[in-house]
Amino acid sequence: MKYFVIIILYTNLIFSQEKSVIQIAYNSLKSGNYENAIANYSKSIEIYNKYAPAYFGRGVAYYHLGQYRQALLDFSKALELDNNLKSVYYNRGLTYGMLNDYTNAIKDLSEFLRYEPNNIDALYSRANIYYFMEDDLKALADYDQVLKIRPDYGLAYYGKAIIYKFQKKYDLALRNFDEYLKYNNNKDNLKSEVLRLIKEIEEK
C-alpha cells in the first residue's frame, strides 16, 4: 500500500511539473517568443512524452521560425498520439505547402475541412495550393466558397484576379482587382502591385 501511495504522489508531481511548463510554453507561443516556447515544450516532452498538445505547440513554434521540417515531425507525432486534434491537420497542411509538397498539403487541408467545412482560412489556403498546382478550377471554387461565407475577404478577390489575368480574362481580372481594392485597399501591402497589374491590363 505504501508503494502504491508513493507511485501516485510521484505521478502527480510529474503532471504538476508538466502543467506548469506547458503553461509557460503556451504563454510564450501566444506572445511570439517562439524560441522560449520550443524550450519549454521540449522540457514538457522530457517530463512526459505522450502528451500530443506539447508536440502540437512546439510544431507551431517551429513553423513560425521557418523550421518547417521540424514542425512537420512534431505535427505528425501529435496526430500519432491523438488523431482527434483536428487543428493539427490544418497546421500540417500549411507546413506541407511551405515545403512545396502540395499533394499532402491538399490532403491535410481537405481532411481538416471535413470537420470545419466553412473555415475561411483553410479554404483560402487550399485555394492557394490549388493555384500553385495550376488547378485553376478548384482554386476558383475555393475562392468563391470563401466569398460566399465572407464577401469582404479581399485576398480571395486578389487570388481570383490573378488567375483570370493569366487566363487572359481581363474583364473578370479587373473586376476582381477592383473588389480587392474596395475591401482591402493597402491592408496587405499589395495596393501598388494591384495598381501595376491593372495598368498592365489596361495597356493591352
Number of domains into which the chain is organized: 1
60 in a domain, yes or no?
A: yes
Distance CA 17, CA 201 (A): 61
Using the structure block, give the residue that is written with the C-alpha cell 498538445.
Answer: 53
95 in a domain, yes or no?
A: no
CATH number, position 71: 1.25.40.10
Q: Could you list the residue range(s) of the whole structural domain that residue 9 is in? A: 1-85
End-to-end CA distance of the chain: 87
| Residue pLDDT tens, the chain, 204 long | 334 444 443 333 334 445 688 889 988 999 999 999 999 999 999 988 999 999 999 999 999 999 999 999 999 999 999 999 999 999 999 999 999 999 999 999 999 999 999 999 999 999 999 999 999 999 999 999 999 999 999 999 999 999 999 999 999 999 999 999 999 988 899 999 999 999 999 987
Q: What is the pTM of this model?
A: 0.87
154 in a domain, yes or no?
A: no
161 CB burial (10 A radius; 0-12, 13-18, 19+): buried
51 in a domain, yes or no?
A: yes
* 18 CB neighbour count, 10 Å cutoff: 18
